[in-house]
Structure 1
């Protein structure tokens, strides 16, 4: 409930108006602060301030327009029901009213007779605000922007100072909105949905970030450190402790400036992006050209999570099958957020939970499935918690071959539980861990040297022969994976040689149980060229070539 409230608060918006008095050097600002936005009601508070803090409001008829397709207002508004005045009703003022003379117009009427010059309400100096009136609208369509705008269609409509009959003229129309973003201790994917008046630096947006860690954006397939931010981009940010960031606390009380919701330029593959000032459903995103989004959209908070909505201030991974633009829809209310079912109930599940109570679920498909759809975003930075199959996916067909699970940023001990599945789990050697697990069973891993698990499904058989597979990728730079199979308990040696027959590296030299294995070879300290890898297991010997290309 608390997180939902934080999400709701992120919808609280501010619409800012700025206009300049044509005779006196006084600038008056106005704004609508959205107090409530649901599928049925839309409540705004009209506020004003000046750059002087000494001017008093004499009288005004302010006319606002709105989109009747989005919101509506009663034709016979009742005071203290449909609107509530603050500071400008009673005393020296005549009765203040809100009227609706036209279908898509409302008038805010305040009158201080000129005989009471200098006795109006003194307007607060920026950045403080003076409350004027709360207005209650009904929502007609929550997916359409309300279109509130300040109108001056007659020379008699505007704002007067208490001791001057000169009409103040409207000027620049700008927009601000309130923002609340909850961040977790450790790594988060974040974004900046607008312009911060204090600046766009990473330390201004997130003063509680870990000073020892950079903030990263995604550039191609790599993470690149940044010191300033741009709306539309997403970022990795490591934070000290959990925190809730708010306008009025860490961010300016006047809100975050709304910017045009321009399409986001994105490349083929994974992109780390951010949304703008409103919450939108991921299912409502479109692309130019059409149909570019492929796979699941993810955010990160303790682990990768499937995103059904894009919330202001959060960062999201979106995969495209070609370069193009990601288009954001409009609206004033969050959509239903209905979860699309990506994982069948009868699929096997491998649930991994570490000592910090962080957990992640991997899935074992039992039917023909487009596995590319289940590719996870790139590995997070540094020590971030991350669980995935060795293929980089969240789901795999364990019947086709044997697979690995890669574990990063975990706190030991680690619990591995399986559901709807029977598997054998081993470490790389098969000596530190070799456990058979049936559905509902779990194992506790305390050995902190185990970061990779080998999976033998219940459909997998003991290899019928020794085999040595071709390394992948090949050519490679600087790492490649070598897989082999042992059909009985054997003393196994796997070594790398150069073309002169000189030993370069020994990957394995120990007694191993029957099973399937894979090892990573890192050649970062070697020169480009052809290398030979050889396996010897009892009487079995086989060699293959591989190419290091730097």
Structure 2
């Protein structure tokens, strides 16, 4: 219960004393000045005493004895003291418990001395107490105060400027940045340097605003040799840094330099390196050491003085290692002439690969007449050797090669050097390897060339030889190339490829091609399941002498054949069949392999001299059939529905009157035709064509993305029974040709057709469901939104185009590519069959026989030529005709002027017009 009462009393007291606040005044003043700060108490109830601690920032100091009470006091006393160094504690009270007057205002004042750093600083209240007569702290809150110190504050970017070594008569500028980080204007009253060789550019008196920056340029003028240490002095109104000193250090020197000059030369030849001195002061002698790379050797008696010498003497000596010391002096202490130019030339012999090599100078002395070393600097350099560099593989393996053949390999030689590489010769120690490239061969830097090498041996064996390349490469001459090869006698057992017809006997020949005599052979032969060996049919050919033949079954459709001679007689000849076998072959048609294994060709020493065996391929065709189909006079789309023994156009279509064209992203003339492809061919008269051949085993045709000319199979097949892999790749109808393109319901043997696909794939023909059908006819009688335009040329060729207001404008509206030149064709310019009835459309005519008669049905049509619109430009009423005689007219522009109101029945070969 006590705890509950206590919390309640606290809540009451907190609410009762909510308006008793102690705060510190906000004040400002200039740096290093003294200000007076007031302590304020706002009270809602009387109080008799107060106390507080004020944390003073480092830039503020309390003024001793400066604290006093204001006229709100009665008989109150006040004391102030610093505790913990920087906390001001103020205590005020009344011995008689008198209350302070008023309810607000300053209650006490104290003095502060401001520092030099500008900024806002907090006077933080703590341990505050406002006491009533019952000694209860009635304080509700405190508010800290702020002191603003107003002052400029100078900041410089560097405290020292190092100019380094500056040649006489040269200058160098460095910069100092002055920043005002204070909150008052920084006044730079003076900037100066007490040395005439340091020069200040620009104003020496100026102001810098708050957070402003000013850059000073200080230039050193090198005029007299020596070291300089001076001060840059900046005076300002910064209260704690009225004067800034910046060190200025510079060395002025006379340029007396030794330079090794650039040099380059060819390996194997002497080279001269020149050394020059640039001097501002007179000199009498010099000495230096040269650290030489391994590619450089000093030539005896090659060191020379040039035109700048007077009575000077020069000597060069080889030190230990790869160092050369050079000394030049005057016995009469005379100086060298002039102030710049070559002084010494030294000869060296070059011997190394191309590249850059450092020649370092060391222990350099340039001496004046008093013997002082006046050198200011020296510069080594590099030597460039201009040299070719041969890069090539170190070995070439030709692999295996028959003694009847040869193998050629290219050796690629690169020049990674800086001079032209000259290949003078490439020779092998054994004439089975030889170079086919003429020498010399020149190869420019960073280029490469191939040298052709050939291996040929009349005898079998393994060969490892060394070829030698001679060139002008100073390091890799000679260059050795290892050559390897294996030659063998070409002794093979081969099953000869052949073709057979289902139901017939297939004769299989096994040949031996031999470069060495042999007396016996053996092999196993495995046959497909639909090959039945005819017992007793295997026999040796006329290559035998007194040889015997043995054949036996060693598994399902697997036989072992062995032939030998008791007298060790050699088989005759070195090529051709040695055994023939007969098989009965049955369905299915296709391509089959007769596989050899465990083959041996034996010589008279019972050695197996076989190199390898080769399986045979047997193609089984269906029985021969005769395909007959009719071709019309003029152009036809044809195909070959069977696999004929001779697929030449002259044999298949003997009365043709044109080239045969195939389409593959454009028309190409072909003479040998293929099953599954379609072709353009022209006949002068109607003709029935008969082609005899085997029915191909495959019922698939390969197609490529875009338009394809294909052929039908040996049976009629409905277009609806043609599947695709992948599925749904057909993007057009099938199109045949009969005096114009039409959409067929079925594909006929011997005819060619167009089809468009959206990706590469295959057409799969399902002939099981094929049946006779006719071309689909179209009934337009109930369609009131179409217009028919007929074109008939002098050759009685007729083409029809259509206009429609809302029909047949989908993606299957595409026409196949234009026929070859000479085939009459009419189409809309966008290669569509049906065009929109609205707007102006363009018609393209190809290879017509003029005159051409145009008949319009279903609408009135304005027709205009595309030459200039003046040859033909008239309105053709529906049911009327227009005849064009001008052969220059190949394009027409048409526009329907009256929508059709009725149509008659048209019998058209356009499948998708019914959809």
Q: Over alpha carbons, which structure has the higher Rg?
A: 2
Higher strand share: 2
TM-score (norm 2): 0.30
